[in-house]
Amino acid sequence: MLPLTTGYFAGYQPMQVLFGLFAAAALTGAILIKDRNLKGMLWEALAVSLILMLGTYLAHNTIVNLANRKIATGFDFLDREARFEISESLIPYSAASTYGRAMLVGFLNTLKVSILGIILATILGVGIGILSLTRNWLVRQLAGGYVHFLRNIPVLLHIFLWYTAITNLLPPLRQALSPVPGIYLSQRGFFYPVPEPATGWTAALYGLIAGVVLAVAATRVARLRQDRTGEILPTGLVAILLVIGVPLIAWLVGGAPTAFSVPALKGFNFEGGTSISPEFFAVFGALSVYTSAYIAENTRAGILAVSRGQIEAGRTLGLSEGVILRQIILPQALRVILPPTTNQYLNLTKNSSLSVAVGYPDLVSISNTTLNQTGQAVECISIIMLVYLATSLATSALMNWYNRSIKVVER
Amino acid sequence: MAIEMTGPATMAAPAGAPRDVIGWLRENLFSSPLNSVLTLISFGLIVLVVPPLVRWGILNAVWTGGLERCKAVQGTGACWIFIAEKYRLILFGLYPFKEQWRPLLMTVVLIALLAASMNRAFWRPWLGLAWLLGYLAMGILMWGGIFGLAFEDTDKWGGLPLTLILSVNAIAFSFPLAIALALGRRSDLPVIRMICTGFIELVRGVPLISVLFMASLMIPLFLPAGVDINKLLRAQAGIILFTGAYVAEVIRGGLQALPKGQIEAADSLGLGYWQKTGFVVLPQALSLVIPPMVNSFIATFKDTSLVIIIGLFDLFGSARLAANDPAWRPFYVEGLLFVALIYFVSCFSLARYSRYVERLARQGDQR
């Protein structure tokens, strides 16, 4: 907390004058002095003093304005009671929780929609990208149309179109569509059954994680063995067996529970099962489909960048088209595809901030509510920016690490 | 799955290949079992999607008449008279109805200038003069206040003209900033390099919406008491700073693509930093980055739709405004599709133009 005394404010103007004098001196020196090194340093000094001058000026104005408007400063508000509800949350939250916890809820919601969006966008994008290069004329046209149509409309418009389609075109809750028994689609969201909590299901979940880890390990071992002896082990089959088999055994050992909580219409709402809100679905659907168009273009460019001789060599060896695609084209194309696709992942994460437009409670929309209640614009916007900056840097670091790990090791 | 590596455009039919319909079908749609399955799936998708859309959008749609006819087909057919009824609100926002010829004329002037700038033959000094005069004329048209035109404040601006103003200004004014940032990032002076890199990475790491919030909520705090900048100008400033960081990276790409020999040649001629940059480096680097610059413009054009969140009525915002009319609310989707069409046509043709410039540049290299 800065001490809000007049003496403190008064300190700013002399500082501005001082920095101004520095700037003037540096400028004169930079023009007059001929020595290159010294000249460079003086230009730098000029830039720094100008920035400091502007910085102290803005800081001074901000502190005066905040004091005039009786707005508090500092991050103390994070510990105060938030007094607003949040429609969906991954962790326990109520109106009695703190602003800090509300922001955490928002951040987790941002992560949820971004991670799920990235997964779907990658699957759709890579698929469409490959399809846009087939010999099949019709498929090529459809894939091209998909990319052009999606890319040339603003992402915010996509989000609104999805949201409007869900809330205007789907029936109200009481006449919810039920394409499959137990699953209901309505303008208030999608409802679907979930297993009743039981040890068997928990065991199956852990089994699934263990199965995936084992499958990855088995693939690694097989690869090492192939490198050493040339013997090819059936890794695909083993991996599928592990991923399906281990959770299945865990489920059977855990008592093979079969009870499901199925949503049923009671009064004004569904009870049982679980639901996806229209807000989440609109943001998730729009972001992943929009981003998939860009990833499709990256994939296409990446595959085209693989030299034609590689594919001809594969055909000469008598490999099937599928093996050529998986073992020759994709690993090489991946190195070209990855850097621009990392950018698309970052864009998707940043675009999730548009959730605020349809009311999905992501970090930005909760910070916005907090900002309106507390008036502490500087703090709230700084939190948004810092969190996104940290997320972006972390994603870049992760993808750079992955990029390095798949790089060709040259002799 | 067979991947066509050379791309469809360069595939030439072998001499004597069957050119009839059946031959074409067999070649392009049913060349292998997998291809046949793909064709059938695509065909199924088309049959599933297109007829309902045609029914909703054309056959059952209401093209003439009044609201009651739309109410009758609600849910089964589109209500295009919503567009006919509200197109002026959607296109020009809250600009006074009688004066809407002014933003219309401004839009025409701006699009004419943009179109002229797309033609390489017009890249002469007089084009810059035309832009200056154009800006002056556009300012007079939009604000008015002289020549007997009534004064219209920026809070009444809206619709397509606002979208165009925001995006064209964003590119035009971020350009000098971007050049400075790009040169700064490649400068030999470590402090300057750090400042420029820091700014670029900071802005590129945060979403545009946070920059717009900052522009609309924090700029008033930064200014001394009594000084007030209107909301449009604040949003514009935010968009310019944001675009600047992205364009700077595009320009840096051009700077990096420049052969080192060019700079060494300039050094050996004894040129100073500014002469070298102004006469050798920038002209070549900038002409290299025209296609990606057009792509930045497309991105900015789409991104300006975000100003709706801080309460400005651009093209998209005024479409929402039109749908606020309770009677017409059910036909919001039609309004959104109309706006989507305008965005699509603009961005698609710009993207085509970018491809064309790229091809021209490649032809230039081959000479």
A350 with B207: Cβ contact below 8 A: yes
Compute the nearest-CA separation of A350 from chain B (Å): 5
* B114 pLDDT more than 50: yes
Sequence-distant (6+) residues with CB within 8 A of A282 are A159, A160, A162, A163, A166, A358, A360
**Which tokens go with B280?**
């050798």
- Classify residue B265: in a domain, yes or no: yes
- Dihedral sign, Cα of residue A376, residue A378, residue A382, residue A385: positive
Domain annotation covers residue B213 = yes
Residue A177 CA neighbour count, 13 Å, CB half: 10
Residue of A nearest to B76 (CA): A169
Q: Quick check: B38 and A142 CB within 8 A?
A: no
Q: CA-CA distances (angstroms) from residue B53 to B50, B57, B61, B112, B166?
A: 5, 6, 10, 35, 34
Number of structural domains (chain B) is 1
Show residues of chain A in contact with B309, CB under 8 Å: 354, 356-357
Look over chain B and give the mean of its residue pLDDT values, rounded to a whole number.
80
pLDDT of residue A409: 64
Average pLDDT over residues B292-310: 87
pLDDT attached to residue B364: 63
pLDDT at A400: 79
Range from A367-376, A380-389, B81-90, B280-289 carrying the lowest mean pLDDT: B81-90
How many angstroms separate the CA atoms of A333 and A307, rounded?
10
Residue A138 to residue B344, Cβ atoms within 8 A: no
The whole-angstrom separation of Cα A379 and Cα A377 is 6
Closest CA to B309 of B319, B317, B301: B317
Residue B348 lies in a domain: yes
| DSSP state for residue A401 in the 8-state scheme | H
Per residue in B15-61, pLDDT tens?
555 567 777 777 777 777 777 888 888 888 888 888 888 877 777 77
- Give Cα separations from A196 to A91, A178, A291, A324, B327 (angstroms): 19, 21, 35, 45, 46
Instruction: Look at residue A86 and tell me if it is in a domain.
Output: no
The candidate with the shortest Cα–Cα distance to B289, out of B279, B281, B278, B277, is B281
Chain B stretch 219-258, residues whose beta carbon is closer than 8 A to a beta carbon of chain A: 220-225
**Which chain B positions have a beta carbon within 8 Å of A157's beta carbon?**
305, 316, 336, 339-340, 343
Question: Tokens for A104?
Answer: 């955490």
The answer as to whether A323 is a domain residue is yes
Are A119 and A57 part of one and the same domain?
no
Each residue's pLDDT tens digit, B147-165: 777 777 777 787 888 888 8
Q: What is the 3-state secondary structure (H, E, C) of A259-276?
A: CEECCEEECCEEECCEEE
Place of tokens 């404010």: A9
The span from the CA of A109 to the CA of A367, in Å, is: 13
Nearest CA in chain A to B342: A153
User: What CATH number is attached to the domain comprising A159?
Assistant: 1.10.3720.10
* Residue B218 structural domain: 152-366
Q: Is residue B331 within 8 Å of residue B79, measured between CB atoms?
A: yes
CA B10 to chain CA mean position, Å: 30
Look at residue B1 and tell me if it is in a domain. no
Chain position carrying tokens 């001490």: A3
**Contact at CB, B190 and A44, closer than 8 angstroms:** yes
Helices (H), B258-289: 260-268, 273-275, 282-288
Compute the distance between CA of residue B232 and CA of residue B238 in angstroms, rounded to an integer: 10
Residue A297, in any domain of the structure: yes
- Does residue B230 lie in a domain region? yes
Split into its structural domains, chain A has a count of: 2
Distance from CA of B169 to the nearest CA of A (A): 18
Task: Write the ipTM.
Answer: 0.84
pLDDT of residue B330: 75
Q: Is residue A56 part of a domain?
A: yes
Q: Which B residues in the span 131-170 are in contact with A, Cβ-Cβ below 8 Å?
A: none
Rounded Cα gap, residues B317 and B312, in angstroms: 7
pLDDT tens digits, one per residue of A192-211: 777 777 777 888 888 889 88
The answer to whether B21 faces chain A, any CB pair under 8 Å, is no
Chain B residue at shortest CA distance from A34? B272
- Answer yes or no: is A207 within a domain: no
Write out the two tokens for A358: 């349809």
**What kind and span of H or E run contains A191?**
strand A189-192
pLDDT 10s digits, A272-306: 777 888 899 999 999 999 999 999 999 988 888 88
A377–B42 C-beta distance less than 8 A: no
Of residues B91 and A114, more confidently modeled: A114
Shared domain check, A127 and A188: yes
Q: What is the pLDDT of residues A341-384, one digit of tens each?
A: 888 898 899 999 998 888 899 899 999 888 888 888 888 898 99
Q: Does A151 lie in the same domain as A33?
A: no
**Same domain as A276, residue A143:** yes
- Partners of A148 on chain B (C-beta within 8 Å) are 348, 351
Contacts of A145 in chain B (CB under 8 A): none
Q: A384 and B190: CB-CB below 8 Å?
A: no
Q: Which of A44, A157, A321 sits opposite B1 (nearest CB)?
A: A321
Q: What is the dihedral of CA B234, B240, B243, B249, to 10 degrees?
A: -140
Q: What is the largest CA-CA distance in chain B?
A: 82
Domain-located, residue B123: no
CA distance B172 to chain A (A): 21
Tell me if chain A has a CB within 8 Å of the CB of B192. yes
Q: Cα distance from B304 to chain A (closest Cα, Å)?
A: 9
Q: Are residues A304 and A381 in the same domain?
A: yes
- Find the farthest-apart pair of alpha carbons in chain A and give their distance in angstroms, rounded: 87
Residue B109, chain A, CB below 8 Å: the answer is no
Tens-digit pLDDT profile for residues B195-250: 888 888 889 889 999 999 888 888 888 877 777 778 888 889 899 999 999 999 88
Give me the residue from B42, B75, B220 closest to A142, CB to CB: B42
A357·B308 Cβ contact <8 A: yes
List chain A residues with CB under 8 Å of B75.
Answer: 169
β-partners of residue B285 are none
* Cβ-Cβ contacts under 8 Å, A301 against chain B: none
Domain with A33, as residue range(s), is 6-70
Rounded Cα gap, residues B4 and B136, in angstroms = 52
Examine residue B189 and state whether it is found in any structural domain, yes or no. yes
**Residue A174, domain member (yes or no):** yes
Residues of chain B positioned with their CB less than 8 A from the CB of A143: none
Q: How many CB pairs under 8 A join A and B?
A: 190
- Three-state SS at B79: strand
- Least CB–CB distance from B218: residue in A169, A377, A392: A377
pLDDT of B8 over the 50 cut: no
> Given pLDDT bands bounded at 50, 70 and 90, which one contains residue A7?
very low
Q: Are residues A66 and A103 in the same domain?
A: no
Give how far B120 is from chain A: nearest CA, Å.
Answer: 25
Out of A134, A149, A169, closest to residue B38 by CB: A134
Contact B209 A354 (CB under 8 A): yes
Could you tell me if A154 and B163 are in contact, meaning their C-beta atoms sit under 8 angstroms apart? no
Is the pLDDT at A174 greater than 80? The verdict is no
Residue B42 lies in a domain: no
Instruction: Classify residue A225: in a domain, yes or no.
Output: no
Both tokens assigned to B117:
């700038």
CATH code at position B326: 1.10.3720.10
Residue A229 lies in a domain: no
